Amino acid sequence: MNDLRRVAVVGAGQMGSGIAEVFARAGLDTIVCEKDPVALRAARARIDRSLHHAADRGRLSEQQRTDAWAHLLFADDLEALADRQLVVEAVVEDETVKTEILTALDKVLTDEQAVLATNTSAIPVTRLGIATTRASHVLGLHFFNPAPVMPLVELVASLHTDPTVLDRVEGFAEDILGKHVIRSRDRAGFVVNALLVPYLLSAIRMAEAGHATAADIDAGMVHGCAHPMGPLQLADLIGLDTVQAIAESLYDEYREPLYAPPPLLARMVEAGLLGRKSGRGFHPHRAV
C-alpha cells in the first residue's frame, strides 16, 4: 500500500483546485494553501461546484461528494504544511515564483522523505530542484486541465531525482489517483507540450495573418480531424498566459522558430485577454 496519504497543493488557481479535488476524491488528507484570501475563497467555490457537477453527472455519488469535501482543508500559510508527505506546487508558470515556493517548502517540511512536486508545464525540473536541499526528492508531476477529468499525468525526473522516489510517486499516481502515467526526460515542454504548443502557435499565427477566423480554424480541426476541440479553443482553456509561458520556455531552450510566441499572443496577454479564466480570449467565455 502506498504510504503517501498526507498531501497538499500550493496555489489555488484552476489547476491547483483541480489537483486538490483529485487528491480529496482519492480519500487523501488534503490541504490547499493559498496566501490570497480572495483566491482561496474562489478555490473553495470552484471545488464545490466541480464536486456537485460530478455528482449531477453521475460520476460521483452524493456520499462520495460529501466524503471528498471532508478530506479538504484550506490554509493561507505554508507552515500549515509541515507534516505533509507530498506537496504539489501549482502556482503561476514563472520560474522565479516557483523557485521561491519550493525553497520555502523545503524549509517547512519536517519529514526528510517528503516529496516536493512541481506541476510546471515546461520549466526544467532540475532548475527548480537545485533551489532546495532535497533535490533527490524533487520531481515533476504534471496534471492536465481539468485535472479531475483528464487521465494523464507526466512524471519528470530531474538529474538529481532518486529513482526510488520516482517509483514511489508513479505508484501513488497510478494506484491511488487512478491516473495514466507517462515518464519524460527533463526537457522543456516534456512530452505533451513539446508536441502540442507548436500546433497551438501555428493556429494563432494563422488567425494573426487573417487566413481564417478563429471559429473556422477551430471548426476545421474539430470536423476535419476529429479533434475534441479546436486549437484556439484549447489555448483559451489552457490560458493564453500559460501558453505564452510554455512557448517562451521552449524557445529559450531550443531557439527554434516554431516555438517563438507570435506577436498576437503577446498582445492578448498584455491586454488581459487570457481565455476562459478571464472571460475572453480567441472566443468569448464566462469567466471562472
Any idea what the CATH number is for the domain that residue 110 is in? 3.40.50.720
What pLDDT score does 286 carry? 76
In the set 50, 193, 249, 278, the catalytic residue is 193
Q: Is 89 helix (H, G, I), strand (E, B) or coil?
A: strand
Question: Tens digit of pLDDT for each residue in 134-151?
Answer: 999 999 999 998 999 999
- Per-residue pLDDT band for 89 (boundaries 50, 70, 90) equals very high
Q: Say if residue 236 is in the same domain as residue 159.
A: no
What pLDDT score does 122 carry? 85
Q: Is 2 assigned a catalytic role?
A: no
Average pLDDT, integer, range 58-76: 94
Instruction: Mean pLDDT check: name the lowest of 54-63, 152-161, 257-266.
Output: 54-63
| Beta-carbon count within 10 A of 93 CB | 22
Q: Say if residue 170 is in the same domain as residue 200.
A: no
* 167 membership: H or E segment, kind and range: helix 163-171
pLDDT reading at 1 higher than 60: no
Report the C-alpha gap between 83 and 85 in whole angstroms: 7
Contact 231, 256 (CB under 8 A): no
The answer as to whether 61 is a domain residue is: yes
Q: Is 283 assigned a catalytic role?
A: no
Non-local CB neighbours of 82 within 8 Å, separated by 6+ positions: 108, 109, 110
Query: C-alpha cell of 183?
Result: 515518464
What pLDDT score does 177 carry? 97
Q: Is 21 assigned a catalytic role?
A: no
Q: Say if residue 178 is in the same domain as residue 69.
A: yes
In the set 71, 142, 170, 249, the catalytic residue is 142
CA atoms within 13 A on the CB side of 181: 19
% of the chain surpassing 70 pLDDT: 99
What pLDDT score does 216 carry? 98
Q: Say if residue 149 is in the same domain as residue 236.
A: no
Report the C-alpha gap between 264 and 152 in whole angstroms: 30
Domain extent at residue 77: 6-184
In the set 17, 50, 119, 121, the catalytic residue is 121
Report the C-alpha gap between 21 and 26 in whole angstroms: 8
The tally of domains found in the chain comes to 2
- Per-residue pLDDT band for 287 (boundaries 50, 70, 90) equals low
Question: Tens digit of pLDDT for each residue in 166-225?
Answer: 999 999 999 999 999 999 999 999 999 999 999 999 999 999 999 999 999 999 999 999
Report the C-alpha gap between 47 and 98 in whole angstroms: 23
DSSP 147: T
Report the C-alpha gap between 96 and 63 in whole angstroms: 41
Non-local CB neighbours of 130 within 8 Å, separated by 6+ positions: 160
- Per-residue pLDDT band for 285 (boundaries 50, 70, 90) equals confident
- Per-residue pLDDT band for 20 (boundaries 50, 70, 90) equals very high
What pLDDT score does 288 carry? 59
In the set 154, 170, 249, 278, the catalytic residue is 154
Q: Say if residue 139 is in the same domain as residue 263.
A: no
What pLDDT score does 227 carry? 96
Question: Tens digit of pLDDT for each residue in 231-276?
Answer: 999 999 999 999 999 999 999 999 999 999 999 999 999 999 999 9
Report the C-alpha gap between 128 and 116 in whole angstroms: 10
Report the C-alpha gap between 42 and 220 in whole angstroms: 35
- The span from the first CA to the last CA of the chain, in angstroms, equals 37
Q: Is 119 assigned a catalytic role?
A: no
